[in-house]
A and B are shown apart, each in its own frame.
Chain A
C-alpha cells in the first residue's frame, strides 16, 4: 500500500540531503580558494617581514617555523641568506609571483619577490601539506554543522509530515465512526485547502444519498396510497357486482381471492420496504412483550378462529426496549404464518419468557414443519417452502419471514427455526439480546 507519509519523508529528506551536499561541495571549494588566497597574503607579509631583517653575520639562520623556509639571493646570483631547511639551490625561479615547487622532500608554496632598493631576490616558501591541513580544518569546522544537522532535519520532517497528514487521519476516523444510517454532513469544520474538496465531495455524496433515500421513502408512502385506493375501489365494485348477480359465480369468487392476494402482496412489499433497517425510523421504548403478544393475538384471532385452530400464550411479562409498531408486525407475521401453514384444528402456542441469553419469543405450531434443507432459505424474499409446487390454496407471497428478519435485525435479535422434537410442527423463535431487554437509559435510546 502506498504511504503518503513515507513518500513525503523520503522525497523531502532526499531533497534536503542533495541540497546540503551541493552546498557543502560548493562551500568547500569557495572556502578553500578563500583560504588559499588568505595564506598567500600571509606569505607575502612574511616576505615583507624577512626583507626588513638585514643580513646578520650568519648566512644560515634557523627557519622561523617548520612550515616556512626562505632564501635571499643577490642580483648576481649569490646566496646571501637562507633558512636552514631551504638547501643551497634556489628554491624557485627569479621571477616575481607565486609558484608551487619541490625541495627538501616536500611540496611548497613559494613567493618570489624582487627588492628594488637592495637589488635582491627574496624567496619565501610554505609547506603545502601543512597549508592544506590548515585549510581543511577551517573548512571542516564551517561545514560540520550542516552535515550534523541532517538527522535533526530528518526528525523535523518526520514530525511535520506526520502532523500535516493527521488531518487526513482525523477525516478517516470521522468517516470510520460514522453510523451506517447517519447521512448528516461531516462536521470537519474549516478543513485545510487540500482536504476541502474531499470533504465537500463526501458531503455532497452524503446529501445525494440522503435525498435519494428520502425520495424512496416518499415513494413508498405515495405508492402505498396510490395502490391501496384503487384496490379498495375494485373491491367495492366487485362487492356491488356480487350483490347484483343472483348467486356468487365461481368467477367472482376467484376474482375475490385474487384481489385479496394482490392486496396482501402490496401490503407485504410495502412492509418489507418500510421495515428495511436503512429506511425504518424506529421509536425505541420500554414495552411489555407479553402484553404486546396478547394484543396481537387479539388482533389476529379472527383468522385463527376461522380455521378452527386454537391459540394460547405462555410465559410471563417481560420488558424489552423495542419499537412497538414493528414488533406488532413481527408477531402477527409469525402467528399468521403458523396459522396459515398448519391444518384446520391445529394449535398454535406463543411463548414469552426470560432465558439465559435474553428474552425469548417463540411461536410453535402443529403443522407439517419445514424440511431441514430449506430452513436456511425461508428468509429469502419471495421464497416459499416447496417453491412453485407449494399448495396454492394457501395465500402468501413469501415475504413474511423477510419482514420478520428485518424487524429482528432492527432489534439486534436472533431468529431460530426448528422442527419440533416432540411431534409435528415448527417453532420459530426470536431471541432479544440482553442489551435490548435491560431497562437502562431508555430515554436516550429513543431515536
Chain B
C-alpha cells in the first residue's frame, strides 16, 4: 500500500514516514502542494495523507485539483484547523476522512487501515468483531465459528453495526439503511430485529445506548 504524505512540517513528516513504514505502508513525502499534484499525476499513490496548511497553496485547493483531475484516490486530511466548518469544507471538497492535530498515531494508522480494507474489499470481505464474523460477499455470519441464520434486515443491521464498531449507530441511521423512502416502518421494527440478533448472537454483543441508538463494542 503506497501512501503519499503531504506535510510541510519536517519533524512531523519524518516521524510519520517512520511510523507508517513500520506499519508496512510504502511512504513517500512531499512538502509542497505543487509537488503533491505532480506526484499524484505522475505516479498515483494508493492513499494521500494531506496537511491543509501548506506553504505554497491551501491544502483544500490541492484536494479540489486532485478531484478535478478525475482522480478517486482516497484522501485523508490532517489539519491544525479544528472548527466544524473546516471539517465540513474538507469533506465537501472530496476528502475521505479527516483527522485534527494533534492526533494519536494509532488512530491515523487505524483510519488508513479502514481505507486500505475498503480498497481491497474484494479480497478481504470478512469483518470480525469479537466472536462474530460477517462475510460481506457470501453474506455468511459466524458466531463462535458456528453459522448463524439471519433474516435480510437482521443481516443489514448487524453489518451496519459491525462496520461502525465502537461507534453508536442512531435509530435513524439504522432505519435509513433498512427501509427505502416512503416505506412504512412500524415503530418497534428495529427493536424486533435487535431482539432477534441478541437471541442469536448473545445478549451482550449489541449494546443499547438509550435515547441514542445501538453499538457493538470493540473487542
Hey, which bits of chain A sit against chain B, CB under 8 A? 221, 224-225, 228-233, 235-237, 239-240, 243, 259, 263, 267, 293-294, 297-298, 301-302, 305, 310-315, 324-325, 328, 350
Contact = CB atoms under 8 A, between A and B. Distances in A.
B24 interface: no
B210 A298 contact: no
Contact of B80 (A228, A293, A302, A310): A228
B12 A233 contact: yes
A230 B8 CA distance: 11
B60 to A, nearest CB: 15
B212 A313 contact: yes
B84 interface: yes
What's the interface size class on B, roughly? Answer: 20 to 34
A314 B212 CA distance: 9
Contact of A239 (B100, B105, B166, B210): B105
A263 B210 contact: no
Closest 7 CB pairs between A and B?
A313-B211, A236-B15, A312-B210, A233-B12, A239-B105, A225-B80, A228-B101
A230 B16 CA distance: 12
B80 A294 contact: no
B106 interface: yes
Contacts of A243: 19, 22
Interface in B115-172: 166-168, 170
Interface in B84-133: 84-85, 100-106
A233 B170 contact: no
Interface string B47-81: 00000010000000000000000000000001011
Given A298-B168, A311-B212, 13 more contacts: A228-B82, A229-B53, A232-B101, A233-B11, A236-B12, A243-B19, A243-B22, A297-B209, A301-B168, A302-B166, A302-B167, A305-B215, A312-B209
B211 A325 contact: no
Contacts of A237: 11, 15
A231 B212 contact: no
Given A311-B212, A313-B211, A314-B211, A328 B103 contact: no
B215 A301 contact: yes
A288 to B, nearest CB: 11
Contacts of A301: 166-168, 209, 215
B101 A231 contact: yes
29 contacts: A221-B81, A225-B80, A229-B53, A230-B12, A231-B101, A232-B78, A233-B9, A235-B105, A236-B18, A239-B106, A240-B19, A240-B22, A243-B19, A263-B102, A267-B82, A294-B213, A297-B168, A297-B209, A298-B167, A298-B168, A298-B170, A301-B168, A301-B209, A305-B166, A312-B210, A313-B210, A313-B211, A314-B210, A324-B84
